[in-house]
Amino acid sequence: MPMTITEKILAKHAGLREVHPGQFINARVDIALGNDITAPIAIKEFRNLGAKKVFNRNRVVLVPDHFTPNKDIKSAEQCKIIRNFAREQKLTHYYDGGDVGVEHALLPEKGVVVPGDLVIGADSHTCTYGAMGAFSTGVGSTDLAAVMITGELWFRVPESMKFVLKGRLNKWVYGKDLILRIIGDIGVDGALYKAMEFCGPTINKLSMDSRFSLCNMAVEAGGKNGIISPDNTTEAYIAKRAERRYKVYKSDRDAVYGDVREYDCSEIKPQVAFPHLPENTRNITDVGNIPIDQVVIGSCTNGRMEDMRVSARILRGKKVPSHMRLIIIPATPLIYKQSMKEGLFDIFLGAGAIISPPTCGPCLGGHMGILAEGERALATTNRNFVGRMGHPKSEVYLANPAVAAATAVKGRIAHPDEVVGKR
């Protein structure tokens, strides 16, 4: 029976020759991930069930990234719970202090996740790792507890949707714009419990950083997972990082898909998602005059080196208005160090930006950039729900780092060409 890449990975981890959409399976998990919001609940259930040891101390990963550094007593207590648990269980992959980074940027960078893996995480954006050809999906904290004990979890095999992307990307268009365009097309429930498989000539030429951004937001269309078959770009990325041996899976040519959609990427412009859903997308040319109070460049969607370099390209020699708060958050310590090494921090600081240590902070309205009533933010994050970054009467717009940097300079949502010119 021909299968998609998602079906092949699930079949392998379930010990089956084949699986089909809708089938319930019990599968072995390679990596189980928790953070400082979700892991304490899982640890509580772990203890309630009488468990003493995790199934594999090398496969349970804890990253206190949401309230890093701790913003108050409650967040400090949350982090203490997972810190003590990591020490007790002698977990190989626990990242804290100067080693902590935004989890979904940190794990690929460290080689913790590899192609062909089955990854679950008590965070909805665990789907990010599909960019490496892994099946990865978000689960609840109680599911995480079950996996920490048994190393297994049940799944319903998702039906796959294929998104074929063709055509040359326009200037200032990146993976973030491709996924925003797709979500704008199919809606926030257009891929509900579906595997979103991205392929085509445009994907083949896309950088790993843009692929991570693309798969990261599959969940914003309701997807169970987002996934891209590994190619030479993937192999080059993982070769110097992988801590384990891995297997590459690809979809069969005659695999069955519930829906196949094709996009001419030469027609896609930088996208902006308006409040209060990621599906409310518009071309940057159709935005109009919208003043902005705060710009955030970072998160598990757009806090990687490509994003830092693009932002610096726009901000070089520029200054943000006095009323503008520009917050830039490199997603990992390595990205932070590399940005310093390349002189990007000099550009950011010269423009008047605030540079934060790696954290999810403002993305979830946690800290490091909370909005007051009536304020507007443009962010490179993944969600713009009501109250997502602060007051329920604030607004969040989503865009790529180039648009974000241009917006910071202009004080309103702006096209990058308005700042650097058409060259």
User: What's the Cα-to-Cα distance from 89 to each of 1, 48, 92, 110, 142, rounded to whole Å?
Assistant: 42, 16, 9, 20, 18
Number of domains in the chain: 2
Together in a domain, 223 and 297 = no
- Confirm if 410 and 291 have CB atoms less than 8 A apart: no
- Confirm if 363 and 303 have CB atoms less than 8 A apart: no
- Confirm if 335 and 304 have CB atoms less than 8 A apart: yes
Q: What is the pLDDT of residue 56?
A: 98
Together in a domain, 64 and 213 = yes
Burial grade of 58 (CB within 10 A; 0-12, 13-18, 19 or more): middle
Phi and psi at residue 5, in whole multiples of 5°? -60, -40
Residue 378, beta-bridge partner list? 295, 397
Together in a domain, 292 and 218 = no
Per the domain annotation, does 407 fall within a domain? yes
Q: What angle do CA 67, 68, 74 make, to 5 degrees?
A: 45
How far apart are alpha carbons 399 and 402 in whole angstroms? 8
Per the domain annotation, does 252 fall within a domain? no
Q: Which domain holds residue 189?
A: 5-247+257-263
Together in a domain, 33 and 168 = yes
- Confirm if 302 and 360 have CB atoms less than 8 A apart: no
Q: How does strand 93-94 pair with strand 225-227?
A: unpaired
Q: Which CATH number does the domain housing residue 380 bear?
A: 3.30.499.10
Q: What is the pLDDT of residue 423?
A: 53
Q: What is the 3-state secondary structure (H, E, C) of 188-202?
A: CCCCCCEEEEEECHH
End-to-end CA distance of the chain: 51
How far apart are alpha carbons 84 and 69 in whole angstroms? 17
How far apart are alpha carbons 241 and 233 in whole angstroms? 13
Residue 355, beta-bridge partner list? 328
Sign of the four-CA dihedral 251, 14, 208, 349: positive
How far apart are alpha carbons 42 and 391 in whole angstroms? 29
Per the domain annotation, does 46 fall within a domain? yes
Q: Can you give the pLDDT of all 423 residues of the chain as single tens digits?
A: 899 999 999 999 999 999 999 999 999 999 999 999 999 999 999 999 999 999 999 999 999 999 988 889 999 999 999 999 999 999 999 999 999 999 999 999 999 999 999 999 999 999 999 999 999 999 999 999 999 999 999 999 999 999 999 999 999 999 999 999 999 999 999 999 999 999 999 999 999 999 999 999 999 999 999 999 999 999 999 998 999 999 999 999 999 999 999 999 999 999 999 999 999 999 999 999 999 999 999 999 999 999 999 999 999 999 999 999 999 999 999 999 999 999 999 999 999 999 999 999 999 888 999 999 999 999 999 999 999 999 999 999 999 999 999 999 999 999 999 998 765
